[in-house]
Amino acid sequence: MKQIRLYLLITLGAFLALFIVGTFLDLQINTALYSNRNTFGLVVSVIGTTPGYGMFAIMGGGFLSLFLKKEEYKTWMRVLFMVAVLGCLGASTYFAGREFFGPNGFYWAAKSFWGYFISFPCMVCFTYLGYRLMRNVDNKNLWILLLVAIAAFALALTGGVTLFKVIFHRPRYRTIEYTPVPYYAWYERCSNYKNYIEMYSLTSEEFKSFPSGHAAASMGVPLIAIFLPLVDEKYRKYRLPLFIGGLVFSLLVMFSRLLVGAHFLSDVSMGAMLATICMLIGSEVLRALKKFNL
């Protein structure tokens, strides 16, 4: 448990440092990096969220493994497990699917519905991966781990990211680059955003810069890696390399969001911090429950 806490605290400290840098240099950094419709940036932005949201599907695969253990759980619990499987698969398909052809991806309104057809088979594969990872786990409290992980991740993405977006309505860099909308620091609430929407024929999506949902979602990859030993001890020796690899992946996604002008440095670092904080809280909950060998 001390090792998990250490990883999370170091990660949190690193993103806090980036957040402080962004507070003072957001505009200068984006001005230097911005590349309109940059192919690399768009591809990483779109594809990069798929493994992040796939974490929901992996956790759904864990519930599937519990559902199939007929002799160990009562019928009503198995029904709840299947509801969790479908909920995780549906949520991951929805969140990943809307990124492909929406305003933050390969913007093609006429094809936006097809994003869900692309994401669904991907999420089915992630669900199967979760099932394979957890099908032989004997810990009777695995469902507690899965519920805590889902709650922490959902809290970061909805309770954290969405709430801040609704409060601040920060304009994206791409918006201030091509319209007369002025720059707002993350702490400056854009209360008159509706006027800008009407004046310049914009969508509300252009005022959801702070914090970054992509960054929060991508952090699911390194954060879930450090919890794998709680599923099976054989993963303990892979914890650090998996965590570092996942962190590199997340940083690439965050960089891509700066590159295409969708976010500022303070946006992506705050999104990453929210995910890390929620996972830290989740780890402390698991420690308090004393159901796992932490």
Dump pLDDT digits (tens) for 131-143: 998 888 777 778 8
C-alpha 149, offset from chain centre:
12
Per residue in 161-186, is it b (16+ CB within 10 Å) or e — as a string?
Answer: beebbeebbbbbbbbbeeeebeebeb
The DSSP code sequence of 17-68 is HHHHHHHHHHHHHHHHH--TT-HHHHHHHHHHHHHHHHHHHHHHHHHHHHHT
61: exposed, middle or buried (C-beta count within 10 Å: 0-12, 13-18, 19+)?
A: buried
Task: Compute the distance between CA of residue 284 and CA of residue 75 in angstroms, rounded to an integer.
Answer: 31
Q: How many CB atoms lie within 10 A of CB 271?
A: 31
Does residue 117 sit in helix, strand or coil?
helix
Does residue 205 sit in helix, strand or coil?
helix
Percentage above 90 pLDDT, the chain: 46
Residue 237 has pLDDT above 70, yes or no: yes
Q: How many CB atoms lie within 10 A of CB 107?
A: 13
For 137-158, what is the mean pLDDT?
80
Return mean pLDDT, the chain: 87
